[in-house]
Structure 1
Amino acid sequence: MSQSAPPPQQSAQAQQPAQAPQPFPAQQQPAGPPGLPPYAQPGSVPPPVAPPAPPRNNLVLGLIAAVAAALVAAALYGVVIGVTKHEIGWAAVGVGLVIGVAAGKAGGRNPALAITAVVLALGSVYLGQLVGEAMIGAKETGLSFAQVFFDHFDVVQKAWKDEADPLTFVFFGIAGYAAFSGTSKAAR
């Protein structure tokens, strides 16, 4: 019978699992000043912390933005009505939302802006409906839009009164609600 030689003994270092190299041994890592992470170097200055942004509360800027948005929204709403010959609910929502967001983004959380945005949305929907009536009247009479709207404004208003129905006033409410909620959400 032959004896086999015992396997050679591995050294103690070879038997230990390999460890990832560390930049500093655990007992030699710099501690750093209190309140800083443990890897910060002693004597280092922490980065400055920016102060929180001040709340926006610019009433005049909010009013200017809301009036500008109301005029543009009224013109676009009037064009939609003039082209389609119908009042469209989502367009009234858009009118109110555009005015409210403009007021809230530019002016902030001032409560007067929300009320103003509602009033401007109602006026914008009314003006848009008049623009739409004037566009329809211009197509039917062959006159220009400017002649119908500016020279015969009383006829445009009478046509609006004759064609107004309960749904017309629902659109006013929709636009007012969208303006109020848009102002408060945009001011956050």
Structure 2
Amino acid sequence: MSQPYQQQPGPGAPGQQPFGGQPPYAQQPPARTGNAGLAVGVAIVAAIVATAIYAFILKSLFDEQTGEVTKISYASILVGALIGAAIGKLGGRNVGLWVLGAVLSIAAVFMGEMYGYAMIFSEVSDGQLGSATEILTDHFGDMFKGWREDMGAMAWIFMALAPLAAYGTASRLGNR
């Protein structure tokens, strides 16, 4: 008597490997795509928050006795890292978003500098020039000109650290 027919499992069945037990190719984990729209939105909010924090740090480092502002590089690095974290965590492996994070970090540091100086001018003038927002909007051209003339080599280095931190943080988090 013959035995009843039993279907043998195919190459895709559990426990079976095609081609003599070796996988035909190494399987890669699926690429993390992320959510670009959410990443951009959160990065913009992070840039606005970082701008405000940077401005308050700048204002707090103003010495009324000497009339000088002590600048620290850590503030710009933190701004870049915050924005880069938002981009990398939510945007995944999207290099275009990493570049956007670098650009947003430069804008956040620059606007933080402008708003910080506007806060200082408002405080020093005892409100004669108006609030910091009024000074920033009404005298932006004059403030920018003065800021540009006052920029030293260290200030340019600090400005360059923000996008480096943003891109580096985004790439590390995005590649996880």
The TM-score, its normalising length taken from structure 2, stands at 0.73
For 1:184, the aligned partner's letter is S
Distance 2:160 2:141 in 1: 25
The answer to whether structure 1 residue 103 and structure 2 residue 87 are counterparts is yes
Distance 1:91 1:67 in 2: 18
Could you tell me which residue of structure 2 aligns to residue 88 of structure 1? 72
Cα deviations by residue, 1:157-181 (Å, 9 ceiling, x for unpaired): 1221221111111011111110011
- 8 A contact 1:133–1:159 mirrored in 2: no
The answer to whether structure 1 residue 156 and structure 2 residue 143 are counterparts is yes
For 2:46, the aligned partner's letter is A
Distance 2:87 2:103 in 1: 12
**Counterparts of residues 1-188 of structure 1 (less than 5 Å):** 55-85=32-62, 86-143=70-127, 144-187=131-174, 188=176
- 8 A contact 1:95–1:121 mirrored in 2: yes
Q: CA shift at 1:53, angstroms? A: 8.0
Paired residues, number: 139
- 8 A contact 1:93–1:178 mirrored in 2: yes
Distance 1:151 1:159 in 2: 14
CA distance change for structure 1 residues 177 and 120 in 2, over 3 Å: closer, same or farther?
same
Distance 2:71 2:173 in 1: 27
Could you tell me which residue of structure 1 aligns to residue 7 of structure 2? none
Distance 2:123 2:104 in 1: 28
Question: RMSD across aligned C-alpha pairs, in angstroms?
Answer: 1.9
The TM-score, its normalising length taken from structure 1, stands at 0.68
Which runs of 5 or more residues in structure 1 are unaligned? 1-33, 36-51
Q: CA shift at 1:137, angstroms? A: 0.8
> Which structure exhibits the higher relative contact order, with contacts defined as CA atoms closer than 8 Å and separated by 6 or more residues?
2
